[in-house]
Structure 1
Amino acid sequence: MAVANRLLCYSDPADHYSHRVRYVLAEKGVGVEVVDVMPGQYPPRLVEVNPYATVPTLVERDLALYEPGVIIEYLEERYPHPPLMPVYPVARANTRLLVHRVQRDWCALVDRIGDHRATEENKASARKELRESLTGVSPIFAEKPYFMSDEISIIDCCLLPILWRLPTLGIELPRAAKPLLDYMELNFAREAFQASLSAVERGMR
């Protein structure tokens, strides 16, 4: 049972969608109780507040949110400092569009690789596509310390969790991806990123 007025996050310790929410919470320094939920093992409280029993699920008082994008935007509005979204509407819209592209172009491939129902041929195709796509965009990471920005943003919070998982996905980036590798090394060392890692995730590298 959740403590009154305490922020609770139901999270799969191996899932990149749960990780992105934990990372946003860490970047904002929000005190939260993280409840690890393994696949198929759903706490009664999670089933009670979320009709789909999915993770991540965020619970605060009488509020329960259970879609990663909705959770992150709520956290940005509820805990505005430090900001992870630009101030101006056009820039905010462009940030949302880039998050959508990360989801569509890269997260979808990660999900295919991790899908136990997918054939080995399908997984191998997804690995090749993801490796080539990341390598192809690597030069843009040489321009800024964060993804096309001088400040960390929601985009990084979505991207870094999947980059952390590359070894477990069977993907090794080539030397040609050095700007991306440098970006990963810099940001994986961030205090907030390290704080966001579950025990399972720490074992991925």
Structure 2
Amino acid sequence: MASPANKKPIMVLYSGVDCIYSHGTRVVLFEKEVECEVRYTDNDDYLEDVAEYNPYGEVPTLVDRELIIYGSRVINEYLDDRLPHPPLMPVDPVNRARARLMIMRFNRDLYKAFTLIKKGSARSEKARKIIRDQLTAMSVFLEQQEYMLGEDFSLADAWIAPLLWRLPAIGVELPAQAKGTLDYADRVFARQSFQTSLTEPEKDIRGIEY
């Protein structure tokens, strides 16, 4: 939700235009329908702001009044705590831990493989196989439920969706056995929050006007 031009925004998110980590945070923002100004770092002035606010000079970076937060997982959980409706994490500690473990595995396995491919690593083909095999394996339980944690959209879905969207850009095509995952991806892509989150470069990945 954009802030009125004559009103100073309460929250500002500094985001890359095609950054996979920023993309997930944008999905969370639009799920929450929070009043937040998204500033894209293809603008040099905003890039300088990030260098000032974030010691790592990375996006996403969130400024909420006097608080500055960086790291997509930290930002996403902060937004869910700060803006509890709709909730994007389970209430009970056991399932919250399971959700965090799932997100950690996405980051360590799938996002690590994605980064290797984007960097043109000699291990790119192995990385593609890791992504293809793991997403295909997920099909078994995704055929039985709407989203990663069950029937409700969660931070885990916001985390995996940007990777699924970028599969054509990294040369990963899922096999027919991954129908559950492919159908799941279509459900997530159809959500208003995901459609609104897409930047022009991200729309160009699939050449589809969502």
- The answer to whether TM tops 0.5 is yes
2:50 is the counterpart of 1:49: no
What is the Cα deviation at residue 73 of structure 1?
1.0
Q: Residues of 1 paired with 2:45 and 2:118: CA distance?
A: 19
Give the alignment partner of residue 64 of structure 1, picking from 63, 68, 86: 68
Q: Residues of 2 paired with 1:35 and 1:89: CA distance?
A: 34
User: Is the 1:8–1:35 Cα contact (8 Å) retained in structure 2?
Assistant: yes
- Deviating above 4 A after TM superposition, structure 1's stretches of 4 or more consecutive aligned residues are 39-42
| Residue number in structure 2 paired with 1:172 | 173
User: Is the 1:12–1:39 Cα contact (8 Å) retained in structure 2?
Assistant: no
Measured against aligned partners, the alpha-carbon deviations of 1:76-124 in whole angstroms (never above 9, x if no partner) come to 11101000011111111111111111112211111111124x23xx112
| Residue number in structure 2 paired with 1:88 | 92
- The alignment yields a C-alpha RMSD, in angstroms, of 1.7
Q: Which amino acid is the alignment partner of residue 185 of structure 1? A: D
Question: SS of the counterpart of 1:203?
Answer: helix
Q: Which amino acid is the alignment partner of residue 34 of structure 2? A: V
User: Is the 2:145–2:151 Cα contact (8 Å) retained in structure 1?
Assistant: yes
| Residue number in structure 2 paired with 1:134 | 135
2:21 is the counterpart of 1:20: no
Q: Residues of 2 paired with 1:102 and 1:186: CA distance?
A: 19
2:36 is the counterpart of 1:32: yes
Identity level (%): 42
What is the Cα deviation at residue 5 of structure 1?
4.8
- Aligned pair count? 200
User: Is the 2:9–2:35 Cα contact (8 Å) retained in structure 1?
Assistant: no
TM-score where L is the length of structure 2: 0.90
Q: Which amino acid is the alignment partner of residue 153 of structure 1? A: S
User: Where do 1:174-193 residues align within 5 Å?
Assistant: 174-193=175-194
Q: Residues of 1 paired with 2:19 and 2:192: CA distance?
A: 20
Greater Cα shift, 160-169 or 101-110 = 101-110
Q: Residues of 2 paired with 1:141 and 1:34: CA distance?
A: 32
Q: Residues of 2 paired with 1:83 and 1:146: CA distance?
A: 14
Q: Which runs of 5+ in 1 are unaligned?
A: none
Q: Which runs of 5+ in 2 are unaligned?
A: 1-6
